[in-house]
A and B are shown apart, each in its own frame.
Chain A
């Protein structure tokens, strides 16, 4: 089984090395003559104003939480789907009950207006 993932590892190593090459090369090859204008933060050619860290709206967090919850749902769905061929009708009912509960939560959040963007 491990062999199946060997190429994932190779890919991962390549993904790390590939961007490192130009950065390292630029470090050694590029001339460095800094001026204050060159060191300025680039923001669409405008003068940068304010702090980069601003407080985000809590709305984002609700989306993140909903994402986590449905992500976990996928983790439950995945083995069920793999085994579905040999399980039959009862498995379908069991999963329907499982999903019903989560869909209800989604309906709740929707009706409550928590999914509306402001």
Chain B
């Protein structure tokens, strides 16, 4: 019998993932033995785990490493994204601590599933191999289907869970098919290896067709996840029906993870094919910008409006992705930075906006009509100003986080030579400002047509304060955030 060597594993790369996976497994058992009345303890423990995982990453910041034969990476890009995911998950759990009992759906599994979803997102940010990306996506999607349908005696929740499952399973099928075609064309699943193969020599005509078809299928699959037009149709229905903290998690976490993987795939594996995919993706970006923002314009339901606006924001981030693939190191690096900064700003802002929605939501109250915001300033001035700050940040008004996100994305797209796309982006941003400001006007001037009581609790307030403070700090002092983002480089981009 020959001596078998244990595969060398660099545990530093997997530290955060292992903490989240392990803690989720432990919490699943703990949740079984915690009495029903004290189940929120599981939520506090979950937040503690997220904080520990975030802290565990600090010593490994800087440099890049990979393990499991290149399947798992740790570069500053993925570390930055990991922190974003962990923070978003912590805020979502804080939002849920009182939301769940208020709606009679308090179960320990909720927090465990949020942890598993976070692990899936981290796999998407760190994965260096198409199989790992697919598994991460499935882990994330599977948990989100369950979380979307979590309020299951409520029919809208069941319906949205079902819709999300059907479209999501379809998207998963696209991705597997695309992976198979790319493997057939290049003979590899590793992103870096695919990139090398493509950069070295041109493929045969047949293989090239399979490569492009496969890449198109993968972009389509991720397009569902990031709600890119024309694959965005599920978003408004699912956001509306899902429990509101889950909708917040969907809108920030799922989208950020989808973008993380999409950037890695397009830049690392398909970077040399940029002239081919850039025009196609640019068309999709225009469609996303227009459909998302015009769709939001005609909504009276605030939750649906936020869903359409998140489609529009995906369009702005796609501008960053386009720039990220641009040849000539500098423009590409600007694009990656732009996507990250935009994600950071968007995450803070959307979490804040959904937090205000949670405060306004009553059990059995499923309208989220724009009239509910009428005269909010007179009744709850703090809540109204929080919502106003979030909406102005979503609209990209200086000095908020959203402004710097848009500014950076437009600059990156302009530098990469997408002048006309930048102009369309600015025009749609002007359209978007209209529907955001409409709610602000409602809150500050209109008379309340009907009293909507608003309830906040310490955990929700803490989450809101974090989000709002983040928006304002990033808005007034963007330098530290931009500095952080500029150090976050894809390992291969930094190496070029």
Using CB atoms and an 8 Å cutoff, list the residues of chain A in contact with chain B: 86-88, 90, 101, 104, 107-108, 111-112
Contacts and interface: CB of A to CB of B under 8 A. Distances in A.
B4 A86 contact: yes
Nearest to A91: B4
Given A86-B4, A101-B25, A108-B32, 17 more contacts: A86-B1, A86-B2, A87-B4, A88-B1, A88-B4, A90-B4, A90-B6, A90-B7, A104-B25, A104-B28, A104-B29, A107-B29, A107-B32, A108-B28, A108-B29, A111-B32, A112-B32
A104 B1 CA distance: 34
A90 B28 CA distance: 27
Nearest to A104: B25
Most chain B CB within 10 A, of A101, A108, A111, is at A108
Task: Categorize the interface residue count of chain B.
Answer: under 10
11 contacts: A90-B6, A90-B7, A101-B25, A104-B25, A104-B28, A104-B29, A107-B29, A107-B32, A108-B28, A108-B29, A112-B32
Interface of B: 1-2, 4, 6-7, 25, 28-29, 32
B282 to A, nearest CB: 41
B14 to A, nearest CB: 13
A8 B6 CA distance: 40
Q: Say what secondary structure dominates the interface of chain A.
A: helix
A111 B30 CA distance: 12
A90 B6 CA distance: 6
Contacts of B32: 107-108, 111-112
A55 to B, nearest CB: 17
B151 to A, nearest CB: 18
Contacts of B6: 90
Q: Which 6 pairs between the two chains have the least Cβ-Cβ distance?
A: A88-B4, A111-B32, A90-B6, A108-B28, A104-B25, A87-B4
Nearest to B32: A111
A112 B4 CA distance: 41
Contacts of B29: 104, 107-108
Contacts of B7: 90
Nearest to B31: A108
A87 B5 CA distance: 9
Contacts of A112: 32
A88 B32 CA distance: 35
A77 B2 CA distance: 22
A86 B1 CA distance: 7
